[in-house]
Amino acid sequence: MNFLTRKHLSRRLLLRGAGAAIALPLLESMLPAGASAAAGTPKSRLACIYVAHGAVMNKWTPTSDGKDFEFSPTLKSLEPFRDRLNVISDTRLPLAYGSDASAGANHARSSQVWLTCAAPGAGPSPTSLDQVAAGYIGQDTPMPSLELSLDDGSSISYRTPTTPLPMEQNPQVVFERLFGDGSTAKERSVRMDLKGSLLDSVTHDMAALQRRLPATDKARLERYLEDVREIERRLQLVAASPASNLEVPAKPLGIPATFTEHSKLMFDLIVLAWQAEITRVSTLMVAREISNRVYPESGINDPFHNLSHHSEVQANKDRLQRLNDFHTRTTLAYFLGKLSKTPDGDGSLLDHSVVLYGSGMSNSNQHDHDPLPILVAGGASGRLQGGRHIRTGKGTPLSNVHLALLDKLGVPLTAFGDSTNMLTL
């Protein structure tokens, strides 16, 4: 085999089998002899995570500023990641107001404008933040970007101001796109019928590679492959469940019955894709605007959109805050925990990432877009510090934050959307 004669392994080495090609995480053996771990640190990754309907802002926003802020009730689950987290307050999304003041249009613009900071359909104007980043840090990966959703319909990722990118909801499809052939429905069906592991088809390559690796690389590779196999196992359980045999077109094969398991699978897939550098840029919609999904695992049985119009009744706001907390715990806290425990070069994936989380609305009862609930996490490979509650100044456009994030990713822009300046991060 080609890699067995190399002095060091290629960063683009794949384990190959029937209908499968598995990319590998960064290993010390991929570095030239004498190179330091830091020399092999991959470029930073970017994730943009959107949740609809804003937040109960007085339960979201910390009461104190700077480094010694106290975590608010909605953000309490994120306290373990204080050193890698920034709460960004006082930003606004002015172009989300628009000329059409109807509730539906206002909601739609919230997600459409969140990453573009440009009036929908206007031109010339920027593509979305993730796609601008992908143009710089995603061109040497198999997939420039990955667009995912935990809800049906809508998108936050725009290749052009009028061309939204489809967001995949089915983790089975995402897994096969990342690791398997399965390019057609028939091939995916055969794959599911075989109930076999993708890893089983690359056993020969894997065994030969492992014999060549030092102990540290062998342990890292085994952990990575265990994660791949665990996701396969969970997907097979979904496919084998009684619900998978029901003819329910709105719930494709491969989507777990519970929000929590669905969310974990999608974030696990992002982590694997980042670890193997299949892609460095990902977007995910936790919930689309005007979604009336119910989240029974949260203990709240109100439909999401209905509850967001709380009429300023405290009991309604309290239930909405509990739902905000549920979304933060099951999505961002889980994702940051996974990133922090995943080795990457001279640190962890969290050290080498930028994660943007938030909404294009503030108080959705009023359809406000000021001030927005925004979080920024990660270390950007040493370029981003954390542990702060940052007040940007009332009325600061969100695009100033986006411009700063692009700068942390090494993207050389002086303006983005309706930005007025680059926020100091």
Q: List, as one string, the DSSP characters of 319-349.
A: HHHHHHHHHIIIIIIHHHHHHHTSEETTEET
User: Who's near 59: CB < 8 A, 6+ residues apart?
Assistant: 72, 73, 74, 321, 324
Is residue 13 scored above 70 in pLDDT?
Answer: no
Decide if pLDDT at 41 tops 80. Answer: no
**What digits encode the pLDDT tens for the residues 284-327?**
999 999 999 999 999 999 999 999 999 999 999 999 999 999 99
Cα-Cα-Cα-Cα torsion 49, 54, 56, 62, nearest 10 degrees, comes to 50
* Architecture per CATH, 44-169+255-408: 3-Layer(aba) Sandwich (3.40)
Please report the beta strands in 69-166, taking only residues with DSSP state E, as ranges in sequence order: 85-92, 146-149, 158-160, 163-164
Asked whether the bond before 124 is cis by omega within 30 degrees of 0, the reply is yes
Where on the phi/psi map is residue 378: left (φ > 0), alpha (ψ -120 to 50), or beta?
A: left
Is the Cα dihedral 116, 121, 122, 124 positive or negative?
A: positive
Picking from 336, 394, 324, 416, the residue whose alpha carbon sits closest to that of residue 364 is 324
Share of the chain above pLDDT 70, in %: 78
pLDDT per position as a tens digit, 323-372 = 999 999 999 999 999 999 999 988 999 999 999 999 999 999 999 999 99
**Which whole number is the average pLDDT over 391-404?**
97
Q: What is the pTM of this model?
A: 0.82
**How many Å apart are CA 409 and CA 402, to the nearest integer?**
11
Q: Residues 56-81: what's their mean pLDDT?
A: 97
Q: What's residue 80's pLDDT? A: 98
pLDDT per residue as tens digits for the range 160-213? 767 899 999 999 888 888 876 544 445 545 555 544 565 666 666 767 777 778
pLDDT at 250 over 80: no
**pLDDT band at residue 39 using 50, 70 and 90 as cut-offs:** very low
Cα separation, 231 vs 279, in Å, equals 18
Give yes or no for a contact between 121 and 161, defined as CB atoms under 8 angstroms apart. Answer: yes
pLDDT at residue 134 greater than cutoff 80: yes
Determine the angle formed by the axes of helices 398-408 and 129-137, rounding to 10 degrees: 10
> What is the mean pLDDT of the segment spanning 47-53?
98
Residues sharing a CB contact under 8 Å with residue 413, sequence separation 6 or more, in sequence order: 132, 403, 406, 407
**Domain boundaries defined on the chain:** 1-40+197-253, 44-169+255-408
pLDDT tier, 21 (very low <50, low <70, confident <90, very high otherwise): low
Query: What CA–CA distance (Å, rounded) separates 351 from 265?
Result: 22
> With 90 as the cut, is the pLDDT of residue 419 above it?
yes
Residue 215 pLDDT grade (very low, low, confident, very high; cuts 50, 70, 90): confident
Those residues with Cβ within 8 angstroms of residue 307's Cβ, 6 or more apart along the chain or in another chain: 300, 316, 319, 320, 323
Q: Strands 146-149, 281-285: parallel, antiparallel or unpaired by DSSP?
A: parallel
| CA distance between the termini of the chain | 47
Write down the pLDDT at residue 224: 78
How does residue 61 score in pLDDT terms, banded at 50, 70 and 90?
very high
7 pLDDT tier (thresholds 50, 70, 90): very low
Average pLDDT (25-36) is 62
Please tell me whether residue 247 adopts helix, strand or coil conformation. coil
pLDDT, tens only, 259-284 = 999 999 999 999 989 988 889 999 99
Q: Which helix (H) or strand (E) holds 35?
A: none
Confidence at residue 172, expressed as pLDDT on a 0 to 100 scale:
87
